[in-house]
Amino acid sequence: MKVLLVGVGGVGEAIAVIARDRPWLEKMVLADYNLKRAKEVRRKLGSPRIFPAEWIDAHDKKQIVKLARKHDVDLIMNAVDPSYNTYIFDAAYKAGCMYMDMAMSLSSPHPTRPYEECGVKLGDYQFERAEKWEKKGRLAVLGMGSDPGLSSVFAMYAQKHLFDSIQEIGVRDGSDLEVLGYEFAPTFSIWTTIEECLNPPVIWEKEKGWYTTPPFSEPEVFEFPEGIGPLECVNVEHEEVLTMPAWIECNRVTFKYGLGDQFINVLKTLDMLGLGSKDPIDVKGVTVAPRDVVAACLPDPAHLGDRMFGKTCAGTWVKGVKDGQPRQVYLYQVADNQTCMANYGVQAVSYQTGANPVIAMELLETGAWRGRGVLTPEAFDPDPYIAKMTELNYPYRIKEM
């Protein structure tokens, strides 16, 4: 497989590092607006023939198509923030490549009832073009990170093997990661974090369909495994709530993050001051989006690994019935930062996210996963994916609750 990797930040680097020694990888083009960063990652990888570096503007569809054709790639991997999704997604269609991302096209709140009704939902732009992709015989895989992505694979595995009927699915994420030397330093893209945390969270219920609530609603304490412990989790907008109901018979789907009081207070303050906005404003003759300024002021998560300590957990909590008895399980993956830095040279959140598209690429290359159109991880058999996790030393666990 030949891959055009658009975006070589923390997760992009992790994708390249994890894919480096896989026998199916012929070429992975490291493309980034910051060419210096792409070359930095190429030096770490030590394989310039397999990992050529290119400059790219992810807003420029024509340039993306040109670069994809120059390197004759099979797949375009979108590893930038989701504000670029529509450009890269459309470019992949034009180039005739497979497409993969880790977060779907952006939502827009309902104009008059943002905390009751959905407006434009996550992924609507991409799903509206599914028929075109199917007719062209091409495949776009949406939301193939840790969550969405692995969380959806876990849900499908639970439906196939662990339950006779499912009542509720709740994706629950939390960590005890600390970054030394900073009072506030996000371990993942702050741009994406602001987007998903300040937008109205979506909940799905069988009787009501999709509806929204205010940000940080319905707090609950969830006990995370492997020493992370209890964290208060709150509703956050996320893709799984929109995709799981299409493939899994259940009564309710939610997504909650264990953000912590400090993080929530920072996000609320940014929102109050208008600094969470992605809409450009004029500042003394310079046009800039306030959210981009916030991101520029904070440390780059890709370079925080040697200052980070702790673990991060992504998992899917499933409630239902098995053999006539009520059952609850939590299927999860925990990444320890020290282990990730020692084994891969990337921090835990980047590793936990980046491993999943690499597994999906391998399954597509070997034919274990096949399809046409615009699909999400729920559309595929979870068994080969789960098996590949063990092979790649990307461990998962199943905890009876």
pLDDT at 260 over 90: no
Question: Per-residue pLDDT averaged across 36-43, rounded?
Answer: 96
Query: What distances in angstroms separate CA 44 from CA 14, 41, 230, 300, 394, one per listed residue?
Result: 11, 5, 37, 18, 21
Question: Per-residue pLDDT averaged across 3-27, rounded?
Answer: 96
pLDDT at 5 over 90: yes
Q: Answer for the pair 167, 204: CB distance below 8 angstroms, yes or no.
A: no
Name the segment(s) of the chain with CATH classification 3.30.360.10. 150-352+395-400
Quote the CA–CA distance of 146 and 152 in Å, as a whole number: 9
pLDDT at 183 over 90: no
Residue 231 — very low, low, confident or very high, per pLDDT cuts 50/70/90?
Answer: very high
Whole-number pLDDT of residue 188: 80
Question: Per-residue pLDDT averaged across 109-132, rounded?
Answer: 97
Residue 186 — very low, low, confident or very high, per pLDDT cuts 50/70/90?
Answer: confident
pLDDT at 355 over 90: yes
Whole-number pLDDT of residue 185: 84
Whole-number pLDDT of residue 14: 97
Whole-number pLDDT of residue 190: 86
Mean pLDDT for the chain overall:
95
pLDDT at 8 over 90: yes
CATH topology of domain 2-101: Rossmann fold (3.40.50)
Beta bridge partners of 108: 120
100 CB-contact burial (10 Å; exposed 0-12 / middle 13-18 / buried 19+) = buried
CATH topology of domain 150-352+395-400: Dihydrodipicolinate Reductase; domain 2 (3.30.360)
Q: How far is CA 20 from the centre of its chain?
A: 21
Name the segment(s) of the chain with CATH classification 3.40.50.720. 2-101
Quote the CA–CA distance of 168 and 145 in Å, as a whole number: 22
Residue 189 — very low, low, confident or very high, per pLDDT cuts 50/70/90?
Answer: confident
pTM here is 0.95
Digit-coded pLDDT (tens) for 270-288 = 999 999 998 999 999 999 9
pLDDT at 344 over 90: yes
Whole-number pLDDT of residue 301: 86
